[in-house]
């Protein structure tokens, strides 16, 4: 395998730039630039030289021989001054070393996976951690990256293996006419495992965490949707005006409230007789996003909104304000009255629906693998023939192998590792 290198820190210029080299020739590369190898895992300051003997930089270098490294391979780390020319100079000096080449996106993490340093669930968590923008996203991604879920999966795998072993024993010791009985606890253990998986399948998934909790503002024209939208997102993102039909398209803004990701969506005012084709399209779009909402804030006449929408009585400070007897919230986006209360209610509601902070949240493919395993366990529960039970358990084991990546397809690996940046 080639030795790879990449800038692992942010885009220069920056205070420091970290270049990582991983692979069998990492030591050679370090010697070519910085002289004799320093003691393992000790940071030392060295001058780095180009092939023609010119000094490139004074850097802190680290020599991390494998296999106990993040990739499982020999690693050299160069902590440079983070200027563009410094980084470019060191990169060309490394490219000149034999068998070294620039890494592609996610290649370091992919090697960590291939060398068994992390499993797929952890790689997925790491990708989410790098993409995390809110506190809850960070904590859930950490749980996955730190391997909490992986530990659970290996418990499930062990249990499944034990169940499979007891079935195999029955098969081995029975002759064709006389099939020995299964151990008494077999059915209970199968049911427990199956219940565990079902419990995880019911938990909120990671997708919601990535996209944010979707709140759609809906109602007829001119009821104050855009003004409330602006108040909720904390900036003048939407145009507001006394003219009915000001908002014509769907507008969305992502914000974090108390560390929870939200997506607020403002829509065109709904009314029965659109004045032109643009308004007609706007209304169709508004209706579509209402269908995908986690919560709809209905600012129109009471009882006229989509089912389960929250009745909001807006423009409470206006002379022509009409109260709603069953309003969940009464607000004035202009004076701020009730807006904080509405925000708190949304946060509390989102907390119920999103994964708990620090819980490993499963992506849809992880859920699919668990679903496959769970289906096989349910099928095994209803079988009586040990041969068929054994086959169902084998298929459940295969589903777990897909989950940890032991039986991953190349496409899936490409899709996952492509989410990383170069240098990770
Ligand atoms: N006094 C007062 N005026 C408000 C309040 N909210 C909105 N308005 C005014 O009401 C008018 C309509 O507000 P918008 O937010 O544009 O209403 P909309 O529902 O988005 O309207 P369309 O985009 O046309 O569907 C504007 O002139 C706002 O300034 C409020 O809480 N108090
Ligand atoms: Mg509007």
DSSP, residue by residue, 51-75: TTS-EEEEEEEEEE-SSSSSSSS-E
Contacts 24+ apart (CB under 8 A), 276-279: 278/248, 279/245, 279/248
Please tell me the CATH code under which domain 119-211+356-406 is placed.
1.20.120.430
The CATH superfamily assigned to 213-353 is P-loop containing nucleotide triphosphate hydrolases (3.40.50.300)
pLDDT at 113: 92
- In angstroms, the CA 266 to CA 299 distance is 12
Domain boundaries, the chain: 3-103, 119-211+356-406, 213-353
CA 331 to ligand 1 centroid distance, Å: 12
Task: Identify which ligand lies nearest to the alpha carbon of 334.
Answer: 1
Half-sphere exposure of 65 (CA within 13 A, CB side): 6
Of 220, 226, 279, the one to substitute when testing ligand 1's pocket (max ligand atoms within 8 A of C-beta) is: 226
Q: Which residues pair with 49 in a beta bridge?
A: 55
CA 240 to ligand 1 centroid distance, Å: 6
Question: pLDDT truncated to tens, each residue of the chain (424 aa)?
Answer: 899 999 999 899 999 999 999 999 999 999 999 999 999 999 999 999 999 999 999 999 999 999 999 999 999 999 999 999 999 999 999 999 999 999 999 999 999 999 989 988 899 899 999 999 999 999 999 999 999 899 999 899 989 988 888 888 887 766 655 556 777 788 899 999 999 999 999 988 888 888 899 999 999 999 999 999 999 999 999 999 999 999 999 999 999 999 999 999 999 999 888 889 999 999 999 999 999 999 999 999 999 999 999 999 999 999 989 899 999 999 999 999 999 999 999 999 999 889 988 888 898 889 999 999 999 999 999 988 888 999 999 999 999 988 887 765 566 567 667 777 777 7
Q: What is the DSSP string of 184-203?
A: TTHHHHHHHHHHHHHHHHHS
**Ion ligand 2 contact residues with beta carbon within 5 A:** 225-226, 246-247
- In angstroms, the CA 361 to CA 147 distance is 12
The CATH superfamily assigned to 3-103 is Probable tRNA modification gtpase trme; domain 1 (3.30.1360.120)
pTM for this entry: 0.78
Q: In which residue are the tokens 């001054």 written?
A: 81
Q: Beta strands 251-257 and 75-82: pairing type?
A: unpaired
DSSP 8-state code for residue 77 = E
* Ligand 1-lining residues (CB < 6 angstroms): 221-227, 240-242, 244-247, 268-269, 314-315, 317-318, 332-334
Quick one: tokens of 79? Answer: 């902590």
- In angstroms, the CA 360 to CA 344 distance is 25
């Amino acid at each position: 395998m080639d030795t790879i290198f990449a800038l692992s820190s942010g885009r220069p210029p920056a205070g420091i730039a970290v270049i990582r080299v991983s692979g069998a020739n990492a030591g050679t590369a370090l010697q070519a630039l910085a002289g004799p190898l320093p003691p393992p895992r000790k940071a030392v300051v060295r001058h780095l030289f180009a092939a023609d003997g010119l000094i490139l930089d004074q850097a802190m270098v680290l020599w991390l021989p494998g296999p106990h490294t993040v990739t499982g391979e020999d690693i050299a780390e160069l902590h440079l001054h983070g200027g563009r020319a410094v980084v470019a100079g060191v990169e060309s000096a490394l490219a000149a070393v034999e068998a070294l080449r620039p890494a592609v996106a996610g290649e370091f993490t992919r090697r960590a996976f291939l060398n068994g340093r992390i499993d797929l669930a952890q790689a997925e968590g790491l990708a989410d951690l790098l993409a995390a923008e809110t506190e809850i996203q960070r904590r859930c991604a950490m749980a996955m990256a730190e391997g909490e879920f992986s530990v659970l999966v290996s418990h499930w795998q062990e249990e499944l293996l034990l169940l499979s072993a007891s079935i195999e024993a029955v098969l081995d010791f029975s002759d064709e006419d006389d099939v020995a009985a299964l151990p008494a606890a077999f059915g209970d253990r199968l049911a427990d495992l199956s219940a565990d998986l079902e419990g995880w399948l019911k938990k909120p998934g990671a997708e919601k965490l990535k996209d944010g909790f979707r709140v759609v503002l809906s109602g007829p024209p001119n009821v104050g949707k855009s003004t409330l939208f602006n108040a909720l997102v904390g900036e003048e993102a939407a145009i507001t005006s006394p003219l009915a039909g000001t908002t014509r398209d769907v507008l969305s803004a992502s914000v974090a409230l108390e560390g929870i990701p939200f997506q607020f969506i403002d829509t065109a005012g709904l009314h029965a007789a659109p004045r032109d084709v643009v308004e007609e399209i706007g209304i169709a779009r508004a209706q579509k996003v209402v269908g995908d909402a986690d919560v709809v804030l209905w600012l129109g006449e009471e009882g006229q909104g989509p089912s389960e929408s929250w009745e909001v009585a807006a423009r409470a400070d206006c002379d022509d304000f009409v109260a709603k007897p069953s309003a969940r919230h009464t607000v004035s986006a202009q004076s701020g009255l009730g807006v904080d209360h509405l925000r708190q209610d949304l946060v509390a509601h989102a907390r119920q629906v999103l994964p708990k902070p620090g819980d490993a949240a499963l992506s849809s493919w992880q859920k699919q693998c668990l679903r496959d395993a769970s289906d096989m366990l349910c099928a095994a529960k209803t079988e009586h023939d040990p041969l068929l039970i054994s086959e169902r358990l084998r298929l459940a084991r295969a589903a777990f192998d897909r989950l940890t990546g032991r039986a991953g397809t190349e496409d899936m690996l490409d899709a996952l590792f492509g989410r990383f940046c170069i240098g990770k």
